[in-house]
Amino acid sequence: MSGITSEPFIPFSRTSIGEEEIREVVDTLRSGWLTTGPRTAKFEAEFAAYVGAPHALAVNSCTAALHLALRALGLKSGDEVITTPLTFCATVNTILEVGATPVLADIGGDGNLDPKSVEARITDRTRAVVPVHLGGLACEMEPLWRLAARHGLKVVEDAAHAVGTHYRGFPIGAGLPAEGMRSDAVAYSFYATKNLTTGEGGMVTTHDQGMLEKMRVLSLHGIDKDAWNRYAEKGKWFYEVVDVGYKYNLSDIQSAIGLHQLRKQEEFVRRRTRIAQIYSRAFADIEEVEVPPQATNGRHCWHLYILRLNTHRLTMNRDEFVEELRRRGIGTSVHFIPIPMHPAYKEWAGLPQNHCPRAMALYPRIVSLPLYPSMMEREVERVTDAVREIVRRARRGRARYRGAAAS
């Protein structure tokens, strides 16, 4: 190892799986019911209650959740869907998968979709908006919902980072208690590195029963289970495929994990918030970095701590900064490589209507620091010490100051 520390490596992400999760998985295995069943039904009900949505459908990823929502809304070839360039590829892949055209709008100072940029990109082909709550910081949803109402657009929230995030006093998924102030569907991720995990998994919530039913049918091959009831005389073996669907259901083994993760989520959010506060306090007086924006519209769930480097004040770039942290035994990540930078998207994302200068300018400045409930005080301190030390060595002003002092 080419590090400069003998201390153990602090990974970027670490799961918090307890005995409760392990016991529930073992119980599930012993129960004989492994696929979607009673534990998934329970997980759906408890998750819906947690996010304040009337309906929840458990699926095997957030990607599946996004795909089902877009399919159930009837999006198709020729439709335009506006989303952010600062997101994971799954957000645009699912738009492309239903045959629609992604349109990128630029971000605001918070790193989330800027409603003004969204408005500027609405055409007569725009059908939907897919905002992403980057790192767990809620998008300013109200202007987006107003735009959607005015232009007849659907809204599907990519809440992969936002289990535990609140917007204006309500969890993401609940919407606001006012006419039109909610989304058509909200998609969550339980991937291994997310702030609530089932290893792989996801959930999609909605306030619309019809939408739930469409997504449920599409999530299981397009099989209409009600056929069992309609043709009861045929017996339990009968079913009808009423749409061309997918295999997106979540297993009871995964739901067993999710049930207990969900019950700990409030405590997880508290611990993440505490660490984020320690980071922000430790970096507040360093001009070479900018701490991530606080929530001004609700509760940040602190899925990610995205530090912004003021690279013009540093003698090193972000990639070198990442390498310096790694040499000190600290893992990091970058959220995200902007969509236009991926070869698969170049053709459409490079078009002038997708030009997002603010996202492109932010990208070379961002680095996500380790942040998870099981981080120990000593680990948090090692991260803050390392950032401060790297910055001290790479401070541009220092060289200038020395020069000035010598003259």
Would residue 248 be called left, alpha or beta, if left means φ above 0 and alpha means ψ between -120 and 50 degrees?
alpha
Length of the chain: 407
Q: Smallest distance, Å, CB 388 to ligand PLP?
A: 29
Closer residue to ligand PLP, CB minimum distance, 162 or 387? 162
Closer residue to ligand PLP, CB minimum distance, 216 or 335? 335
Closer residue to ligand PLP, CB minimum distance, 139 or 289? 139
Closer residue to ligand PLP, CB minimum distance, 307 or 391? 307
Question: For residue 54, how many other CB atoms are within 10 A of its CB?
Answer: 13
- Active-site residue 194, yes or no? yes
Query: Tokens at residue 166, please?
Result: 């609140």
Give me the residues that bind ligand PLP (CB under 6 A), please: 61-63, 87-88, 90-91, 132, 158, 160-161, 189, 191, 202
**Alpha-carbon separation of residue 138 from 27, 151, 162, 343 (angstroms):** 36, 22, 7, 29
Spatial distance between the Cα atoms of 132 and 389, rounded to a whole number of angstroms: 33
Closer residue to ligand PLP, CB minimum distance, 24 or 158? 158
Q: Smallest distance, Å, CB 202 to ligand PLP?
A: 5
Closer residue to ligand PLP, CB minimum distance, 100 or 391? 100
Q: Smallest distance, Å, CB 17 to ligand PLP?
A: 17
Spatial distance between the Cα atoms of 21 and 10, rounded to a whole number of angstroms: 24
- The single residue of 42, 194, 225, 264 carrying the catalytic annotation is 194
* Contact assessment for residue 103 and residue 111, using Cβ atoms and an 8 Å cutoff: no
Compute the half-sphere exposure of residue 272: CA atoms within 13 Å on the CB side of its CA.
32
Whether the link from the prior residue into 9 is cis, omega within 30° of 0, is: no
Q: Smallest distance, Å, CB 206 to ligand PLP?
A: 17
Spatial distance between the Cα atoms of 367 and 336, rounded to a whole number of angstroms: 9
Q: Smallest distance, Å, CB 220 to ligand PLP?
A: 18
Following DSSP, what letter does each residue of 330-395 receive, concatenated? B--B-S---GGGSGGGHHHHTSGGG--HHHHHHGGGEEEEP--TT--HHHHHHHHHHHHHHHHHTB
Q: Smallest distance, Å, CB 62 to ligand PLP?
A: 3
3-state secondary structure of 188: strand
Residues with catalytic roles: 194
